[in-house]
Amino acid sequence: MSKVACFFHGIYPRSGQLAQASRDFDRKRLAIKDLKVKQLADFSALIALQKSGSFDYIEDGKLSWQDIFRPIVEATNGMEVGALTRWFDNNSFFRQPIIGNKINVDTKKLDNYFPVITPAKKWKVTLPSPFTFAKLASSKSHDSFEKRLGQTTEITALIIKYLEKRGVSYVQLNEPSIPYFGTTKKEITVFLKSLSVIKKARKNLKLAIHFYFGDATPIISALNKTDLVDVVGIDFYKTSLSQLPKNINLEVIAGIIDGRNSLMESGSSLKQSVSQIIERLNPPVLYLSNNSDLEFLPEPVAKEKLSLLGELTRSFRSHSL
Amino acid sequence: MTHFLTHEIGSLAKPEWRVKGVLGRPINNHDIDDAISWGKRLGIEYKPLLQILRGRVLSADDKKEIKRWACLYAVRLQEVAGLDVVYNGEQDRSEMYQYPVTLSDGFIFRGLVRSFDNKYYQKAACVGKPKLKKPWHNDEFLSLQKMTKRIIKIPITGAYTLAAWSFDEFYTGKSQTIGSLKALKEKAKARRAFILDIARYLIRPNIKMLLDLGASWIQIDEPAATTIPSEVPLFVESFNESVRGLKGEFTVHICYSDYRLLFPHIQKMKNCSQYALELSNRDSKELGVSDKQRPGYEILKWFKKYKIPSRIGLGVSDIHSDYIESPQLVRDRILYAVKILGNPALVNPTPDCGLRTRTWEVSFQKLFNIVSGARLAEKKLASPNP
């Protein structure tokens, strides 16, 4: 029987107060120290929410991140922030990373972007997958995708080493590109190669890769035959359970909380869906989670959804462990 | 001789005296000077406005009057710049999403959602069948009629964009299980019903009322048209539903999008007489009419290839930059479009999008140069060796 656990991943929405403070800071109506006070208030509330829901791993919510790439781009010598670009099919935008020939991450610049979470055994961090990073970036000298992927893999490996040194226990790579755009065989090959580099970079931390914004079936089937990661994630709003392989060997993240619609999920429907997922995939551990970042929702809605996630997980813990 | 019809796209920045006046904030001397200076430049008898702005406490009627004056200033700015078709620069509206949603039943605002960096918008959820609470733009049109003798174009946010920028809590069933093919299909069906109901019960009635009042040109704003590539046919269907059976000039504005995704689907758009597109943002600043000099306008070849008979609202001025395009650069962008489309009547020079992020000074110069560039292009085409 699968063990059922839970966490959330990715960028969490800022509260109305923090959003207003961020705007005021932009307009020079608020000092940075006052903005940080607001960020800390949101951070503390988010940590408390996860702890009260007995989440198995805790994330910081990336409350100061302007997009999933920005702190990494700003901490990397040889990388620049480019044009405002649509984030897949959302009414949400990121600045396209522009990669130069020589790049070098200054991890000291990252310290503020990865606030410490205690206990360390619960500290989890989401990073962009190197594949999506390379796919959405451009390079100054119009290099091939393969070269960009090599560079983003190198950066990610360095950041993972840095995070492990700081005590992080679990890193999740978020990979929307593959399910959204689909991939060629050649791309799958270079993707797996990139993961093998990442795997070597970590020592003991748990490594997950989560696929969302599209059907994850083909890539899950490919990864299930490997030991490149410990955990694979699936967006169940885009993937049909019946198409997935039976009895997955890896641990699984089930993206069952919709990060893109404010409609509150029905607890009983979710319970039924989770039972079906366990029955078919039968993974060693099933992590109940959100499908995409929750930043597409207003903060009060995201908060309610995380509470539901905690409650749902509790109902499985009581009789499935 | 060819005449290139010029027009704006929608918004202009709101003058400080308009913003502060409507919000009831103190209006300072600088704001008053701004009203005087633009009043003089635009030939407006502005003294009654100053009386209102100098009032200690502004009543609801005063605030309404301030908005009306802002509309008049915006219209005059466009007239003095020389545009053929004018609008009030959204001085009467808050913006293009919250404003129409507030005037509609079936929606509840759920809170702030980030668009990018520290920019947020209030996002609503559809919680019931959409229905008009109040006409969105009737008063605006009636007021505009009194202000200008030029052609008036009324922009209205389109059905697809309103749906794309809203959550759907009504059409998507709450009880459906996730992770099944059936659920995926049901979701697609629900999405279509949502978008078409907005077209049917919000957009179409608004357009019909405007036409009944005498409006002739309605611009449907659909910046989200290509957000979900597989849903472009739905955008087309919603446009057709919005104007079905109505008689008027209907155009569509799309910006900051991958326009290639529109093809071939827009061949099925009925009664769309113009596509107003942001193009100069993608273009070089070099003069000339070669493909290499005009990379931003490559998409026009697709319109030609797919035999789209509509006019192009040709974005010739970047609204995200204070750089003032010279009349010569505007001329060459127009001439290139004529070269590709093969017919000057299909080219209507415009800014890329609404100018609300620019100052009035920059906006005026940009609009003025669009008109000047159009005149230069006309001369060039009329010369013996165009």
Q: Set out the domains of chain B in order of their start, with CATH numbers.
A: 83-382 (3.20.20.210)
Angle at B22 between CA B16 and CA B24, to 5 degrees: 95
| For testing contact with chain A, the best of B110, B172, B178, B257 (most A CBs within 10 A) | B178
What's the rounded mean pLDDT across residues A192-199? 98
Asked if B350 contacts B314 with a C-beta cutoff of 8 angstroms, the reply is yes
Q: Is A29 touching B (CB cutoff 8 A)?
A: no
Whether A301 is in a domain gets the answer yes
Nearest chain B CA: its distance from A119 CA (Å): 31
Interface of B with A (CB under 8 A): 110-120, 123, 125, 164-165, 167-169, 172, 174-181, 184, 187, 224, 227-229, 256
Please report, for residues A65, A299, B12, B155, the alpha-carbon distance to residue B219 in angstroms, rounded to integers and kept in the order given.
37, 34, 16, 4
- Closest Cα in chain A to B108: A262
Number of domains making up chain A: 1
- Say whether residue A23 is in contact with chain B using an 8 A CB cutoff: yes
β-pair partners for A80 = A98
**CB-based contact, A240 to chain B, within 8 Å:** yes
Measured in angstroms, the CA of A204 and the nearest CA of chain B are apart by: 32
- The pLDDT tens digits for B93-134 are 988 999 999 999 999 999 999 999 999 999 999 999 999 999
Q: Does A121 contact chain B (CB < 8 Å)?
A: no
Q: List phi, psi (to 5°) of A119.
A: -70, 150
DSSP SS3 for B123: strand
Taking the C-alpha atoms of residue B96 and residue B155, their distance in angstroms, rounded to an integer, is 9
Contact state of B114 with A236 under an 8 Å Cβ cutoff: no
- For residue A260, give the chain B residue with the closest CA: B167
Longest dimension (CA), chain A: 57
Q: Is residue A41 part of a domain?
A: no
Distance CA A8, CA A294 (A): 9
DSSP-derived 3-state class of residue B324:
coil
Mutation target for B interface from A65, A91, A220, A271: give the one with most B CBs within 10 A.
A91
Enter the tokens of residue A148.
Answer: 């960009």
Query: How large a percentage of chain B has pLDDT more than 90?
Result: 92
B218 Cβ contact list (under 8 Å, min separation 6): B153, B154, B155, B156, B207, B210, B211, B243, B248, B249, B250, B251
Query: Is A231 contained in some domain?
Result: yes
pLDDT in tens, A81-120: 998 889 999 999 999 999 998 999 999 999 999 999 999 9
Rounded to the nearest angstrom, the minimum Cα separation between B186 and chain A is 12
Confidence band of A226 (pLDDT split at 50, 70, 90) = very high
The answer to whether the Cβ–Cβ distance between A92 and B114 falls below 8 Å is yes
Beta strand spans in chain B (E): 85-86, 104-116, 119-132, 151-157, 167-168, 217-221, 249-254, 274-277, 311-317, 347-351
First to last CA, chain A: 7
Give tens-digit pLDDT for B276-319. 999 999 999 999 999 999 999 999 999 999 999 999 999 999 99
Per-residue pLDDT band at A321 (split at 50, 70, 90)? very low
| Residue B69: closest CA among B38, B101, B98 | B38
- To the nearest whole Å, the CA of A18 is away from the closest chain B CA by 10
Q: Is the pLDDT of residue A320 over 50?
A: no
**Cβ contact, residue pair B118, A19, below 8 Å:** yes
Q: How far B27 CA lies from chain A's nearest CA (Å)?
A: 19
- Going A134 to A135 to A141 to A147, the CA torsion angle's sign is positive
Is residue A156 within 8 A of residue A134, CB to CB? The reply is no
CATH of the domain at A91: 3.20.20.210
Q: CA-to-CA distance for B386 and B380, rounded, in angstroms?
A: 5
With H, G, I as helix, E, B as strand and everything else as coil, classify residue A88. Answer: coil
Interface contact A25-B179, CB threshold 8 A: no
CA distance A75 to A65: 12
Confirm whether A27 is domain-assigned. no
Amino acid B185: pLDDT: 86
User: A298 and B112 in contact by Cβ < 8 A?
Assistant: yes
Say if the Cβ atoms of B165 and A91 lie within 8 Å: yes
Q: C-alpha distances in angstroms, B304 versus B160, B320, B380?
A: 25, 28, 23
Residue-level pLDDT at B176:
63
- CA dist B335 and A241 (Å) reads 55
Q: Looking at the complex, does the CB of residue A90 fall below 8 Å from at least one CB of chain B?
A: yes
Contact B224 A270 (CB under 8 A): no
User: Any bridge partners for residue B221, and if so which?
Assistant: B157, B253
Residues of A in contact with B164 (CB under 8 A): 91
φ/ψ region of A284 (left if φ > 0, alpha if ψ in -120 to 50, else beta) reads alpha
Pick among A22, A66, A68, A262 to test the B interface (most B CBs inside 10 A) = A262
- What is the average per-residue pLDDT within A178-202? 95
Domain that holds residue A119: 3-15+54-320
Residues A18/A39, Cβ–Cβ less than 8 Å: yes
- Mean pLDDT over the full length of chain A: 95
Task: Classify residue A172: in a domain, yes or no.
Answer: yes
The mean pLDDT value for A8-14 works out to 98
Tokens 């319970």, residue located: A271
Q: Residue B182's closest chain A neighbor by CA? A: A240
Q: Which chain B positions have a beta carbon within 8 Å of A300's beta carbon?
A: 110-111
Give the tens place of pLDDT for each residue, A266-304. 999 999 999 999 999 999 999 999 999 999 999 999 999
User: At residue B252, does pLDDT exceed 90?
Assistant: yes
Distance from the B266 Cα atom to the nearest Cα atom in chain A, whole angstroms = 19
| A256–B contact, CB cutoff 8 A | yes
Helix (H) or strand (E) run with residue B212 in it: helix B204-213
Q: What's the rounded Cα separation, in Å, for the pair A41 and A61?
A: 12
Dihedral angle at the C-alpha atoms of B322, B323, B329, B333, nearest 10 degrees? -50
Please name the residue that has the structure tokens 């090599």.
Answer: A150
- For B54, the token pair is 């100098």
**Any CB–CB contact under 8 A between A77 and chain B?**
no
Query: CB-based contact (8 Å) between A94 and chain B?
Result: yes
Examine the pLDDT at B166 and tell me if it is beyond 70.
yes
Could you report the predicted ipTM of this complex, rounded to two decimals?
0.95
Find the residue in B nearest to A239 (Cα).
B179
Does A171 map to a domain? yes
Among the partner-chain residues B116, B120, B168, the one whose CB lies closest to the CB of A261 is B168
Q: How many interchain CB pairs under 8 A, A with B?
A: 107
